[in-house]
Structure 1
Amino acid sequence: MHKAAAHAKRGLPLRHLPAMDLPFLMLVLTLVGFGLVMLGSASSAVALYRRGDAFAYLRPQLLYAALGIGAMWVASRVDYHIYHKLAWPLLALSMVLLTAVLFMPEYNGCKRWLVLPGLGTLQPSEIAKFAVVLVFAHIIALNHDRMGSFAVGVLPFALVLGAVAVLMLLEPHLSGTVLILGIGAVLMFVGGTGLKWFVLAGAGGAAAIGAAIIIMPDLVPYAASRLSSWLDPFADPLGDGHQTIQSLYAIGSGGAAGLGLGSSRQKHLFVPEPQNDFIFSILCEELGFVGACAVILLFALLLWRGITLAAHAPDRFGALLVVGFVVQVALQAVLNMAVVTNTIPNTGISLPFFSSGGTSLMMLLGEMGIVLSVSRGET
């Protein structure tokens, strides 16, 4: 108290902050720690075979995790109302980056990464997800009394989602597009958009999907191949169905208790991208059904705690930020698990906090820091 008074007399910008929500913080840190352990195990073989270093994927991820946790701490201490001013500029930046990535070289048939000389790669879709949550929360918080009308409750959101979706489909990034559309729909629903507009959007979406299926072989061969390999992965076991088949082998061989941490056989160049999109299949093989349930429980608890924090947020803007970020994590986890179990077509989506990827991890932890800022309860 005496130090605080002394700082105040000298005019230093010192202020006392309420405590952040510890249960949410512990859930985030547990997921990060669990993810690093699993990444170290799942990536060791492919890193050794391809790069001659078993820690080639884990080492940079540890650095990104440390930087991300630092960013989370800083974000938790920043007044979240500042994002009212940053929402539109960040969306504009994400649109520029999503356009720029289309001129980058392809990797695995996609253009999703910007190459930053000396710094690695940047995935603009991660920034786009963040920006969409900010913009939607901003618009809804300012116009919540008029969300039932088309001009306020539908049109601006449709324009934003449409522009982002088109750019992401051009990469192509189907899973990212589905994820952003899902986040946007949840925020619109929570924000008060009329149910009739969702019904109309659903009908229009069904018609668009039907039309796309008819013309897909000529229009989107990438999506067509993913769809056919989903329906029958064993029709092309050495081609498009290879990933799914090897993933299912890994999950099935894990049984109830798993083969043991580090004991996966499928990670030895059988499952493609075990350090990224298919890390959950390696987790199931090594930790079994019990380990898979533990991961699902952690994500479920994160979602539940986040919704609880949103319900007690100081204002509508804070509540919408929390809902947007925790729904993003939960929905992305569900989509990833659905892909590796062949419940939905393989669309290439990472598992939050577990998959290798510096941009994703740092953005996620920054978003969790904003949730913690809202949990402090300051208006």
Structure 2
Amino acid sequence: MKEAAALPRGGRHKAPLRPLPAMDLPFLVLVLTLVGFGLVMLGSASGAVALYRRGDAFAYLRPQLLYAAMGIAGLWLASRVDYHIFHKLAWPLLGVSLVLLAVVLFMPEYNGCKRWLVLPGVGTLQPSEIAKFAVVLVFSHIISLNHDRMRSFAVGVLPFVLVLGVVAALMLLEPHLSGTLLILGIGAVLMFVGGTGLRWFVLAGLGGAAAIGAAVVVMPDLVPYAADRLRSWQDPFADPLGDGHQTIQSLYAIGSGGATGLGLGNSRQKHLFVPEPQNDFIFSIVCEELGFVGACAVVLLFVLLLWRGITIAAHAPDRFGALLVVGFTVQVALQAVLNVAVVTNTIPNTGISLPFFSSGGTSLMMLLGEMGIVLSVSRGET
């Protein structure tokens, strides 16, 4: 009888849906709250522009609901998968992302950029979202295997610089300045957490400052796209119907929201005044409809997500899991900071979306998959 009773316990590990330790419930609640909040705001912000462009007020919300459902299913599956499998998948996924970043350069332009692969009968795919995911995997993989040698140049600097250099070069050709900055920021955080010597960051900072200084001198000829964005940031009212139009309308929306906003669904600026209210500038509609209180609620949710992610990383069973959690949660937090900074004209307009809120199937599904990996790490299995 004892042997018979022991069989289910021994065979449990072979079951397709074996019992697992509980995932981190606060983190899951935060993710689902952000998704739900984002869908509500997308439905409100996108109705007018969707009706004008496509004759259907739900043209942006309907596919986003589908992507959210698929993403949540992916989150659940990823939370049950042993995250150590990504040790083997890191380099192949990086290779795939580099191929896609190269292929997208031959796609048609949209708003002066080549960021999307057109998949007939399916929709579009944004390779930069896959590249973010792959960079976190590769960096976590390298650091976890070589953490004792991270202070040397050959191990702690060179492989990361090569990866970031290739990815950044391909993304700048799109051009995708915001995505490039985001990937560089994620990489720098993982290198710092992983133990790369501080002196290399100082040297990188000096080199970066020199590169930026050189770029400023030649920018009108070398990067007219960035130069226009920089001039528009310095004085958006110099060209209120051109490059400055989006920023000006965003600021009008934020200012008119006041403390408590005009009420959900009552935005005036979303009626074809703010370009792309369903995407990069959805936060300005949040501010207009929900006011300062609503804007603070959004920011607080992202802060709590970052805090909970760091807590999970601190209790991760191994270094690889901790680095994955840091990479994915920092990605979300940093992207949110950059988006809010752009919308408020704190930094030049770089065309970056607000995680969980902006329209975009690739971004939402990749984000939810990444959050599923965080939840897998939170289960504490080695």
Q: Normalising by the residue count of structure 1, what TM-score does the alignment of the two structures yield?
A: 0.98
Q: 2:354 corresponds to which residue?
A: 351
Q: Report the Cα offset of residue 8 of structure 1.
A: 3.5
| Match status 1:326 vs 2:329 | yes
Partner in structure 2 of residue 227 of structure 1: 230
> Are positions 1:138 and 2:141 aligned together?
yes
2:63 maps to 1:64: no
- Counterpart of 1:212 (choices 193, 202, 215) is 215
Shift of 1:50: 1.2
Residues 8, 14 of structure 1: 8 Å contact kept: no
Where does residue 304 of structure 2 map in the other structure?
A: 301
Q: Distance in 2 between matches of 1:12 and 1:154?
A: 42
Q: AA paired with 1:299?
A: F
Counterpart pick for 1:102 among 101, 105, 124 = 105
Match in the other structure for 2:57 = 54
Instruction: Give runs of aligned pairs for residues 145-156 of structure 1, distance below 5 A.
Output: 145-156=148-159
Identity, in percent, stands at: 87
Superposed CA RMSD: 1.6
Please report how far the alpha carbon of residue 5 of structure 1 lies from its aligned counterpart in structure 2 after TM superposition: 2.7
CA distance in 2 between partners of 1:124 and 1:101 (Å) = 8
Alpha-carbon distance between aligned partners in 1 of 2:83 and 2:308, rounded to the nearest angstrom: 19
- In structure 1, the partner of 2:340 is 337
CA distance in 2, matches of 1:142, 1:348: 35
Give the alignment of 1:1-379 within 5 angstroms.
5=8, 8=11, 12-13=15-16, 15-379=18-382
Go from structure 1 to structure 2 and tell me whether the alpha carbon gap of 1:276 and 1:9 turns closer, same or farther (over 3 Å shift): closer
Count of residues paired in the alignment: 379
Alpha-carbon offset, residue 15 of structure 1: 2.7
**Kept in 1: contact 2:12–2:18 (CA 8 A):** no
Take 2:357 and 2:17, find their aligned partners in 1: how far apart are those partners?
36
From the superposition, tell whether residues 338 and 14 of structure 1 become closer, same or farther in structure 2 (CA, over 3 Å). closer
Paired residue secondary structure (2:146):
helix
The amino acid across from 2:31 in the alignment is V
Change (3 A) 1:221 1:333: same
What SS does structure 2 have at the residue aligned with 1:314? coil
Counterpart amino acid of residue 195 in structure 2 = G
Measure the CA separation in 1 of the matches of 2:211 and 2:321: 34
- Displacement of 1:144 after TM fit? 0.1
Change (3 A) 1:6 1:201: closer
Runs of at least 5 residues in structure 1 that lack an aligned partner in the other structure: none
Within 1, Cα distance between the matches of 2:13 and 2:202? 60
In structure 2, what is the Cα distance between the partners aligned to 1:181 and 1:47? 34
Amino acid at match of 2:292: F
* Structure 2: runs of 5+ lacking an equivalent: none
Three-state SS of the structure 2 residue aligned to 1:50 is: helix
Q: In the superposition, relative to structure 1, how do residues 14 and 62 fare at CA in structure 2: closer, same or farther (>3 Å)?
A: closer
Following the alignment from structure 2 to structure 1, what is the Cα–Cα distance between the partners of residues 12 and 379?
Answer: 26
Contact 2:282 2:358 in 1 (8 A): yes
Structure 1 residue runs of 4 or more that deviate by more than 3 Å after TM superposition:
6-14
Secondary structure (helix, strand or coil) at the match of 2:124 reads: strand
Instruction: Indicate conservation of the 8 Å contact 1:7/1:14, yes or no.
Output: no
